[in-house]
Amino acid sequence: MSAAPTEQHTDFVALARNGDVEAFSRLMEELQPQLMGQALAFCGDNQRAQDLVQETMIAAWKNLARFDGSCRLFTWLYVILLRQHRRALGWFARRLPLATLEQQAAAGRFEADTAIDESPKAEAAEAELLRAMLTALPARHREVVRLRFYADASEAEIAAALGISQGTVKSRLHNGLTKLRRMKEKMNQLRSGSH
Amino acid sequence: MSTPTPNENQPMREALQRDAASLPEPDFNPALHYATMRRVRGLAETPTRRFRLSPALATTAAVLALAASLMLWQMRSSSDHEAASNFQPGQLQPQPTMPLASLLTYQAAADKGDDALFALLDHDARELLPTSSPVFNAPLR
């Protein structure tokens, strides 16, 4: 899922931090597909995802001196990606109100028939619901949940990348997951009520 | 309110892991890479030193301005101090408290005669001095 740091990788990071554009180019070449995959999941639109990845890489180049190697480069880039996305959305970056999500569930937008739970359609509906629920999470919880599960970052790495304590990461992760679980329960109730 | 155990969130963890694993990883996009690196090279070529230097220049300018204002303040305060230390009480000149108009009034009263002048003086003395002043017991006239 995410790039394992290699010795060569570390060398390129060191060179890039000293202003070596070619070393930076090699790193970005390696990480671009992963970043694009994540960006596509946020944006759902290829052009916007490309813009997001480009802005992330530009911001990474400008701030490379701040990368201290306490987490993987991908984790650090993922944090930039998340924040660039939030900045690009501006006012719309505010979390989706839960009420909107509930209304959509009640209207059957996230309809997933339990009888055909294994079908690709049901899986796609579940994935859509899960991503919509993620957008309804407070930003601080969403950031940690995304880093943990989508960037496959360890709690220690997340703490280093966000500049917070590991205890805070644990607590945000737990609260984020609990909120998601409760949302899911409520959505299921609403969906069963709409049938 | 009971605190949920981590196991309660396990299905959610699994759902997130499944979703993350299902994300498609697109192929490397050379056009995107080329466009990005062109911008990065542009940034690398434009003097980042200028960017790095500008805070240094701003700091230097601020320090110089501060030093100049400190010097000015010190010079001014030392000249004030010098003036204060050179002050002799004997040099103090009494400030004319009487306005010019009053002098003219007195002159005009004097022109009219002694009575008018004494009356004016008497009037002003009553304004300035307490009524218990001995001058009122022994009038000038």
Q: What is the ipTM of this complex?
A: 0.78
User: Residue A181: its chain B contacts at CB < 8 A?
Assistant: 4, 8-9, 11-12
Residue A109: per-residue pLDDT: 58
Tell me how many residue pairs between chain A and chain B have CB atoms under 8 A apart. 95
Q: Between the ranges A69-73, A85-89, B19-23, B29-33, where is the mean pLDDT highest?
A: B29-33
Cα–Cα distance for residue pair A157/A147, rounded to 1 Å? 9
Residue B16: per-residue pLDDT: 92
Residue A80: per-residue pLDDT: 94
**Contact of A173 with A148, CB cutoff 8 Å:** yes
Chain B residue with CA closest to A21: the answer is B41
Residue A2: per-residue pLDDT: 45
Chain B residue with CA closest to A57: the answer is B36
Q: Does B20 touch chain A (CB under 8 A)?
A: yes
User: Residue B27: its chain A contacts at CB < 8 A?
Assistant: 33
Residue B125: per-residue pLDDT: 77
Q: Taking the CA of residue A30 as centre, how many other CA atoms within 13 Å lie in the half-sphere pointing to its CB?
A: 19
Cα–Cα distance for residue pair A116/A122, rounded to 1 Å? 7
pLDDT band at B86 (very low <50, low <70, confident <90, very high): low
Q: Do B32 and A19 touch (CB under 8 A)?
A: no
Q: Does A145 touch chain B (CB under 8 A)?
A: yes
Sign, Cα dihedral of B41, B46, B47, B48: negative
Cα–Cα distance for residue pair A126/A112, rounded to 1 Å? 7
Provide the chain B residues 56-85 that lie in CB contact (below 8 A) with chain A.
Answer: none
Q: Do B43 and A53 touch (CB under 8 A)?
A: no
Closest to B15 measured CA to CA, from A115, A150, A93: A150
Chain A residue with CA closest to B31: the answer is A50
Residue ranges for chain A with pLDDT beneath 50: 1-3, 113-116
Q: Do B9 and A25 touch (CB under 8 A)?
A: no
Residue among B20, B28, B39 minimizing CB distance to A32: B28
Mean pLDDT of chain B: 77
Min Cα distance B53 → chain A (Å) is 15
Chain B residue with CA closest to A142: the answer is B16
How many residues appear in chain B? 141
pLDDT band at B139 (very low <50, low <70, confident <90, very high): low
Q: Does B138 touch chain A (CB under 8 A)?
A: no
Mean pLDDT, rounded, for B36-56: 76
Residue B1: per-residue pLDDT: 47
Q: Do A130 and B15 touch (CB under 8 A)?
A: yes
Structure tokens of A182?
A: 């409760």
Closest to A76 measured CA to CA, from A85, A66, A86, A89: A66
More confident residue, A82 or B48: A82
Q: Does A36 touch chain B (CB under 8 A)?
A: yes
More confident residue, B47 or B132: B132
pLDDT band at B41 (very low <50, low <70, confident <90, very high): very high
Cα–Cα distance for residue pair A63/A84, rounded to 1 Å? 13
Residue B141: per-residue pLDDT: 53
DSSP letter at B3 equals P
Residue A122: per-residue pLDDT: 72
Q: Is the confidence at residue B34, as pLDDT, over 90?
A: yes
pLDDT band at B138 (very low <50, low <70, confident <90, very high): low
